[in-house]
A and B are shown apart, each in its own frame.
Chain A
């Protein structure tokens, strides 16, 4: 199964999104990587790198990001991965809550990374009302 890493400035936000997504996709390997190493608001490329390694079970990893430095730190984390794994990790340009949930559900079906990514990006156009 494709693993998912959630990168938010807040560890509470990342943990909370993981909880919601896990409720619908309990078997998917979802790792929250929110906040900085010292528990402050922010993002940490090394924490993200570690989360990617944990989330990967051989089928690649989708990274969900909130904004700003979350994207920069996730991209920096990609630079620290070995080439083979890097080819199997992508960052979704998608809303972090909705994208994670629909992505996780898609991942739980055993879908490939490119399809999980596509589903997560699809959350951009999800109508609520």
Chain B
């Protein structure tokens, strides 16, 4: 199995492990399906990737992941993460190893995709509240000449802070926005799943001992 496929499978397993947790968060302020939907999506992704030829580049693999999520998640997370990953696949096309600049370009493309698809911006209690600060922290790491693994660690911490931040704001996008002020005090399930994925990627590369 190629390293990029193994990394995605690790992300998928983290989501599946957190299925109940994400669903519980979504029960508080949404329609109680985020964990179920995301786990269903990544089960399909893991199944699909396990049948994939070894020689596929990162762009191809990500495109496969995106299409699988779009067709199997069911909730808003499907088109949102699907579009994000589809956009991230573009700078990764034809590549088997990713350098920091490529990862940064992929991350930017993914966030642009989510903003376009969800017509959302930071501060609306969505996945963007984890993903955008994470990218900023990652970019600062790169600028300061840190190793990719350290940049990812900065990103993971920023995403976790982003999740905490969502507790302090009212939702203005998605199902939670129907609750208005009552969404205060609850952390956003989408921001949480974004953090879980970044953390899983970090843990995977740490376990590999290098990036």
A interface, CB within 8 angstroms of B = 36-37, 40-46, 68-69, 72-73, 75-76, 79
A76, B117: Cβ atoms closer than 8 Å? yes
Contact flags B64-94 to A (C-beta < 8 A → 1, else 0):
0000001111111111101100000000000
A42, B117: Cβ atoms closer than 8 Å? no
Q: Any chain A CB within 8 A of the CB of B146?
A: no
In-complex Cβ contact of A46 among B33, B71, B76, B175 (8 A): B71
A76, B33: Cβ atoms closer than 8 Å? no
Contact flags B15-38 to A (C-beta < 8 A → 1, else 0):
000000000000000000100010
- Interface secondary structure of B, over-half rule: helix
Chain A residue contacts of B77, Cβ below 8 A:
69
Chain A residue contacts of B174, Cβ below 8 A:
68
Known: A41-B33, A42-B37. A72 touches B74 (CB 8 A): no
What's the Cα separation between A76 and B118 when bound, in Å? 11
What's the Cα separation between A110 and B16 when bound, in Å? 50
What's the Cα separation between A37 and B80 when bound, in Å? 18
B79, A75: Cβ atoms closer than 8 Å? yes
A42, B75: Cβ atoms closer than 8 Å? yes
Known: A41-B33, A42-B33, A42-B37. A72 touches B72 (CB 8 A): no
